[in-house]
Structure 1
Amino acid sequence: MSDNISNNAIIYATLALNSEVALQHEYLDSPDVPDDERENEEEILADLEQAFMEFVDLYKSRCKSDKQLPSIDELLNSQL
């Protein structure tokens, strides 16, 4: 599957998931989460984090074969 996904798609997905993880953390840290929904929201966060880590691993693999790609640290810390 990873050979069919372009580098740009991996980059966009990784950055989008990183943003979603941050937003979900903020939401869970806020008083806005109803008690009866907290467990579900925590499961959503766990799923987002898992997806993010899978794309990070995929991106790191691509970096090994394409030396022109920025490192994962550079990618996640860049100002777009």
Structure 2
Amino acid sequence: MSDTLSSNAIIYAILSINSEVALQKEYLDSPDVLPDERENEEGILDDLEQAFMEFVDFYKSCRKQDNTLPELDELLNNPL
């Protein structure tokens, strides 16, 4: 297995994690979260947001090397 990630893998990771962040926020805003689960669910959201930011930072460095890659805003604002 290669130690480097392809641009497509990074893009799909960003889009997937972004979707998971949105779902987790929606879940936390719902009445479905029990009080004793809230802290754990908020921790999950924090972890997802951290992972998202790490992939975004990595993508930005990839984009500096390859300006044919779409801008981040374009990725996040257009449906697949």
Report the TM-score, using the length of structure 2 for normalisation.
Answer: 0.95
Runs of 4+ in 1 over 6 A off after TM superposition: none
Residue 50 (structure 1) shift: 0.1
CA offsets 1:12-37 (integer angstroms, 9 cap, x no match): 00000000000000000000001110
Match of 2:55 in 1: 55
Residue 78 (structure 1) shift: 1.1
Structure 2: give runs of 5+ residues left out of the alignment: none
Does residue 45 of the first structure (1) align with residue 15 of the second (2)? no
Counterparts of 1:79 and 1:25 in 2: how far apart (Å)?
A: 19
Match of 1:34 in 2: 34
Residue 11 (structure 1) shift: 0.3
Match of 1:4 in 2: 4
The Cα RMSD (Å) is 0.9
Match of 1:14 in 2: 14
Report the TM-score, using the length of structure 1 for normalisation.
Answer: 0.95
